[in-house]
Structure 1
Amino acid sequence: MGKGAHAQLSGMGIGNGTAMGVVRRMPDPLPEPVDIPSARTAAEELSCAVGALEETAAFIRSRGEQAVGAAREILDAQSLMAEDPSVHEDVSRLVMAGKTAARAIFESFSSFRAIVAGLDSYLAERVSDIDDVMQRTIAYARGVAAPGIPESETPFVLVARDLAPADTVTLDLTTVLAFVTTEGGPTSHTAILAREKGIVALVAVADAQSIADGDLVIVDAAKGAVTVSPSESEQKAATAAMEERAAQRARPATPGALADATPISLLANIGSVDGVDEAVKYGAEGVGLFRTEFLFFGATAAPSVEEQQAAYTKVLTAFPGQKVVIRLLDAGADKPLEFLNSEAEQNPALGQRGIRALLANEGILRSQLQAIAGAAGQTEADAWVMAPMVATVEEARSFSAIAREFDLKSVGIMVEVPSSAILADRILAVSDFASIGTNDLTQYTLAADRLQGSLASFQSAWHPAVLRLIAEVGSAGAALHKPVGVCGEAAAEPLLAVVLVGLGVTSLSMSAAALADVRDELSRHTLAQAKEFARLALAADNAEDALAAVLGAAR
């Protein structure tokens, strides 16, 4: 495609936003360091390499301190890559063998990258995050600038292969109107951070490399389309859409409801105490997913009951009279903890994680429940508690029995694996509610690692196989008069949120910045329409056809 040629490219949209602007492309990665003998002593090269690793870790950690929720977790994990003793040992070995600092860093991280890229299990961080750490460290070792967001005095649309978490967290939203990436998927770190910041974005745009610097583009996340060199009429339509969305987001937040006044609770996902203010700001009706991992990760031992209770109390205090669903520690797989997951596993995604790990370490489970019960007793919030990664009726029953020993009134489970969806009627018979984690449910249903970029096309919760499992849970909830929520990334996709309601979901929880778009989309459709959209999606053969069918009926 030549510069200025009209074209429309497709990808996966994040949210409902529209943006229009001139393209600036992300600079290409630094070239591979040439493998030539060093002109310096090994000690000098080693000092350079260690200094570069330390500088990278410090830079990423400083970015993490500016972030909250998932962004902080991702950046913390990245900083640990640069501090990993095994990486330092490998770099030292290569330098002592005569490599330059830059070459040693490249070879060490490339080996790590190859191992991660070649595994099918649900691992620590995706390959693009490793690439980012490697690129930054090589840049520091060479004394040059690392590839990053282009500087510009005028607003622009960013086009890149992918965005590093450290760049996404600090995007200047007065300058970056939207971004378009070649890689990524709906549950990639790039997509998750875009939702958290409310950025108009399109990921997995296969032909994005054909867009040139200076091209005028329209990015329509709702349609999953990038229009290159749009016509005058297309520009006018985009301007009208942007003005309408701005007016909609400026209106005071109201409780979530369909067009026929059917109430649908709109809740926020938060990853730490820091996420409370944003949830309140965007009008969340409570919290549908309070992740408690922030208290445990990076620690060598489980935090005390008192430490946990203090943190939980801060969050519950912010939502008097409102529901706050607290998810117990979800460790294992890509989030191992030394004091919880001590044994090496060949396939951590199918190993000792979630409720399995907690039931095997009942002292940690009980201390967390004790802290939650204590915090609930000190506040006016409606505290609910749920167990992660429940796969069987026995796990649900065991967790429910232990939780009720602490007088917790609402005890539920996460539906993240097909078995719990298929057995939803029996699991809900011993639980008070279910919350569907669509990220993991999609991954396990389609047998596709959600952190592996090459499998992005398998990561859509629009897939009828995933929707059919959600429908099973919705039907079981309706029959037993038990609430069913969704707290995965699917809840933040406005039109998909309507389909979820049609499948029997009664509440939706998402990043706070996504609430306005979902609230607006729900208000446009009745329950009868939502059920019809669900029927159309279930009748499709794949995710693309399901989305197309619902788009055709809704627009």
Structure 2
Amino acid sequence: MRDLMRGIGVGTGSAAGPVARMAPVPALPAPRAVADPAAEAAAVRAALGAVVTDLEERAARTSGTGSQVLSALTMMAADPALADRAAGLAEQGTDGAHALATAFDGFRAALVAAGGYFAERAPDLDDLRDRAVAHLLGLPTPGLPDPGHRYVLVAEDLAPADTALLDPERVLALVTVRGGPTSHTAILAKALGVPAVVGCTGASELADGQQVLVHGADGVVEPDPSPEAVERAAAHEHRRRELLAGFQGPGRTADGHPVSLLVNLGAPHELAGAAAADAEGVGLFRTEFLFLDRAEAPGLAEQAAAYRKTFAAFAGRRVVVRTLDAGADKPLPFVLSADEQNPALGVRGLRSAVRDPQLLETQLAAIAEAARDSTAQVWVMAPMVSVPREAAEFAARARAHGLPMAGAMIEVPAAALRADRLAESCDFFSVGTNDLAQYAFAADRTLGDLAELLDPWQPALLELVATAARSAAGHGRPIGVCGEAAADPALALVLVGLGITSLSAAPVSLPGLRAALAAHTLAQCRELAGLALLADDAATARAEVMSRMSER
């Protein structure tokens, strides 16, 4: 067996199989002279058209999130301004491949400069550029391999067009060289329940057909494992799945301490699966789907109709609605300010209500109208709360609309540190670990190089969660976690030990959370939390907790 490779574990369970690597990105050839600029420009437009057609065909074969992702990519590839820029360069004598690369790179630079949501879309343009260049050069299009058997997918990183088509029946596990715990690859792996390790730099050495054993829980990849190791891992995975199948109902620790297990919900197509899950409700209902990709905000009637469907699907259960989490970090023309120099630190979330109070008023009115027709327990919370005054004003506005449960997201360090004051006006808290980590460590979520700082096991992040939880407990307020951290069974035990009262994750994550809780008492959770808080870094915290868990 070769030396173990380590990265960040983001999936669940273990899986072994042969490696299949992503098709390589086409290399740009040396610049060449253009004999017929008009023909070169036509070839550039044809290459972009081929990309659009390919994406449209993929979208037609896909449903749900995959179809939406591919449709969004199709719109980007079909942008007339992009085609005009690339064709214009070709008409000026630039060869087609370099004309495409230059045009895409210019658009990419603009997105990166905009920051926030826009910067997160920059890799999408890289993927589209590579596809267009491949079409123009007559080379294989980069994308998922098809070796004719099940495989472990190894890649530098996964483009959205590839993740949208990933089939868990064919892909045994994921290993990427780049990426962090909040990357779209990590989120997808968790949603599909596929073992995955991201940020594994050693994976670039793995060859097609090479056998590997991937441990999603602890972020380890074993190249050329022994048959005995594979057999042990398979037996362990079989026992794990059998164990998970035996746990149902509300979340409870071994000594009966209740921990609500909830699902995250962010788009209409997710509703049926989320409602059918063995969950106590929705811990995070993202409402941005109603506002994105449109020139003006939806009206009260349209919003109320959408909320009513969700509340009906979760009749009798809790639904925590997050008001619009948009502004400078999401492309909403009716919220966006063109003069924002640093969108990630700009007018977003609740702050947008200062710029346009009617946005929040209409949304709260729509939520209240839909709630009146439902038996769902509707709670409402504001994102990006920073100071007690904001929490108090939001709670007052929510209650004025007849919404009795008003809370605040804890995703800014200032909110965690002053949670005691926030709790005087809020009925509950919900911790968004992704943003809380980003702001606590001054680490951009979009940068894979900073993945270690964004690891939810970071003791400083857990200290902020503990501070907020103590304040919530002091006022008798429930406090949940709805970030990616909530999907990790081992970390969930730590969070419960810190005082978290509910966990909200993708439906596929709930059985693992339920089983982990049932196997540990509240006192043991508190012991694990203490170990994590005393650690010097995320890796040590994870290792200490996993070691203590294995002793039981």
Report the TM-score when normalising by structure 1. 0.94
Aligned partners of 1:411 and 1:432 also within 8 Å: yes
Aligned to 2:526: 531
Partner of 2:510: 515
* AA at the equivalent of 2:31: D
Q: Are the counterparts in 1 of residues 322 and 382 from structure 2 also a CA contact under 8 Å?
A: yes
Farther off after superposition, 54-63 or 168-177:
54-63
Q: Answer yes or no: is 1:154 the counterpart of 2:155.
A: no
CA distance in 2, matches of 1:232, 1:85: 55
C-alpha change, 1:327 and 1:501, in structure 2 (3 Å) is: same
Q: Which residue of 2 aligns with 1:542?
A: 537
Larger mean Cα displacement after TM superposition, 537-546 or 437-446: 537-546
Does residue 1:476 correspond to 2:476, yes or no? no
Mapping for residues 488-507 of structure 1, pairs under 5 Å: 488-507=483-502
Aligned with residue 247 of structure 1, among 238, 242, 245: 242
Q: Is the 8 A contact 2:11 2:197 kept in 1?
A: no
Q: Is the 8 A contact 2:469 2:499 kept in 1?
A: yes
Rate the CA distance shift 1:241–1:323 in 2: closer, same or farther, 3 A.
Answer: same
**Could you tell me which residue of structure 1 aligns to residue 167 of structure 2?**
172
Q: Which amino acid aligns with 2:32?
A: I
Q: Does structure 1 residue 276 correspond to structure 2 residue 233? A: no
Is the alpha carbon distance of 1:47 and 1:370 closer, same or farther for their aligned partners in structure 2, counting shifts above 3 Å?
farther
CA distance in 2, matches of 1:202, 1:67: 26
Counterparts of 1:298 and 1:205, CA distance in 2: 35
Tell me the equivalent position of 1:15: 11
- State the distance in 2 between where 1:120 and 1:381 align: 37
- Alignment check: 8 A CA contact 2:11 2:186 kept: no
Map 1:336-415 → 2, pairs under 5 A: 336-415=331-410
1:11 corresponds to which letter in structure 2? Answer: G
Deviation for aligned residue 1:247? 1.7
CA shift at 1:62, angstroms? Answer: 6.0
Deviations 1:305-347 (A, max 9, x none): 1111111111111111100111111112431310111333110
* Cα distance in structure 1, aligned partners of 2:101 and 2:421: 52
TM-fit CA distance, 1:19: 0.5
What is the alpha-carbon distance in structure 2 between the residues aligned to residue 102 and residue 269 of structure 1? 42
Q: Evaluate the alpha carbon distance shift between residue 115 and residue 453 of structure 1 in structure 2; reply closer, same or farther with a 3 A threshold.
A: farther
Between the aligned residues of both structures, percent identity stands at 45
Unaligned runs of 5+ in 2: none
Residue 41 (structure 1) shift: 3.7
Distance of 1:204 and 1:33 partners within structure 2: 29
Alpha-carbon separation, structure 1, partners of 2:180 and 2:48: 29
Residue 95 of structure 2: which of 81, 86, 100 is its match? 100
Contact 1:78-1:129 within 8 A present in 2 as well: yes
Q: Deviations over 1:375-431 (max 9, x none)?
A: 111111111111111111111111111111110011111111101101101111111
Deviates more, 1:26-35 or 1:358-367: 26-35
Equivalent residue for 2:442? 447
Q: 1:62/1:124 Cα in 2 relative to 1: closer, same or farther (>3 Å)?
A: farther
Indicate which of 306, 310, 315 corresponds to 1:315: 310
CA distance in 2, matches of 1:77, 1:510: 25
Shift of 1:249: 4.2
Instruction: Name 2:33's counterpart in structure 1.
Output: 37
Correspondence for 1:553: 548
Deviation string, structure 1 residues 192-225 (Cα, Å, up to 9, x no partner): 1111222211101111111222221111111211
User: Is the CA contact 1:61–1:79 (under 8 Å) kept in the aligned structure 2?
Assistant: yes
Q: Which amino acid counterpart does residue 178 of structure 2 have in structure 1?
A: E
Tell me if the contact between 1:536 and 1:546 (Cα under 8 Å) persists in the aligned partners: yes
Distance in 1 (alpha carbons) for counterparts of 2:305 and 2:201: 47
Partners of 2:328 and 2:462 lie apart in 1 by 24
Aligned to 1:532, the other structure's residue is in SS state helix
Give the CA deviation at 1:258.
Answer: 1.4
Task: Tell me if the contact between 2:249 and 2:279 (Cα under 8 Å) persists in the aligned partners.
Answer: no
SS in 2 for 1:414: strand
**Letter aligned with residue 19 of structure 1:** A
* Deviates most, 77-86 or 209-218: 77-86
Q: Residue 2 of structure 2 corresponds to which residue in structure 1?
A: 6
Alpha-carbon distance in 1 for matches of 2:57, 2:428:
39
| Aligned CA distance change for structure 1 residues 267 and 160 (closer, same or farther; 3 Å) | same
Per the alignment, do residues 393 and 276 of structure 1 end up closer, same or farther by CA in structure 2, a change over 3 Å counting? Answer: same
What is the CA distance between 1:369 and its match in structure 2? 0.8
Q: How far apart are the structure 2 equivalents of 1:356 and 1:76?
A: 30
Q: CA deviation at 1:437?
A: 0.5
Cα deviation, residue 227, structure 1: 0.9
Q: Are 1:138 and 2:146 counterparts?
A: no
Which residue of 2 is the match for residue 431 of structure 1? 426
Q: Which amino acid aligns with 2:119?
A: A
Deviates further, 296-305 or 341-350: 341-350
The answer to whether the 8 A contact 2:284-2:321 is kept is yes
Deviations 1:151-189 (A, max 9, x none): 122111111111112211221222110111100010011
Following the alignment from structure 1 to structure 2, what is the Cα–Cα distance between the partners of residues 389 and 76?
30
C-alpha distance in structure 1 between counterparts of 2:68 and 2:339, whole Å: 22
Q: What's the offset of the Cα at 1:115?
A: 5.8
- Please state how far the C-alpha of 1:481 moved relative to its aligned partner: 0.5
Query: 2:319 & 2:132 partners in 1: Cα distance?
Result: 41
Distance 2:267 2:516 in 1: 28
Given the superposition, is the C-alpha separation of residues 396 and 98 from structure 1 closer, same or farther in structure 2, using an over 3 Å criterion?
same
Q: Label 1:383 to 1:206 Cα distance change in 2 as closer, same or farther (>3 A).
A: same
Contact 1:156–1:177 under 8 Å retained in 2 = yes
- How far the C-alpha of 1:48 sits from its partner, in A, is 3.3
For residues 137 and 45 of structure 1, do their structure 2 counterparts lie closer, same or farther at Cα, with a shift above 3 Å needed? same
Alignment correspondent of 1:198? 193
C-alpha distance in 1 between matches for 2:364 and 2:519: 40
User: Post-superposition shift, 1:90?
Assistant: 2.7
Amino acid at match of 1:512: P
Q: Find the aligned partners of 1:467 and 1:63 in 2 and give their Cα distance.
A: 41
TM-score normalised by L of structure 2? 0.94
- Alpha-carbon deviations, 1:120-150, whole Å to 9, x = none? 7664325433321211222233344311111
Question: Which whole-Å deviations, capped at 9, do the CAs of 1:232-275 have from their partners, x for residues lacking one?
Answer: 33122101112113323444632212122211111111111211
Paired amino acid for 1:383: V
1:256 equivalent in structure 2 = 251
Matched residue of 1:288: which SS? strand
Tell me the equivalent position of 1:27. Answer: 23
State the number of aligned residues. Answer: 549
Q: 1:49 touches 1:105 (CA, 8 Å); kept in 2?
A: yes
**Matched letter for residue 279 of structure 2:** A
- 3-state DSSP of counterpart to 1:178: strand
Q: 2:301 aligns with which of 303, 306, 313?
A: 306
- Aligned to 2:129, the other structure's residue is in SS state helix
Shift of 1:480: 0.4
Stretches of structure 1 lacking an aligned partner (at least 5 in a row) = none
Which one is further off, 180-189 or 254-263? 254-263
1:374 Cα shift? 1.0
The residue correspondences of 1:34-73 to structure 2 (distance < 5 A) are 34-42=30-38, 44-57=39-52, 59-60=54-55, 66-68=62-64
Instruction: Please provide the CA RMSD for this pair.
Output: 2.1
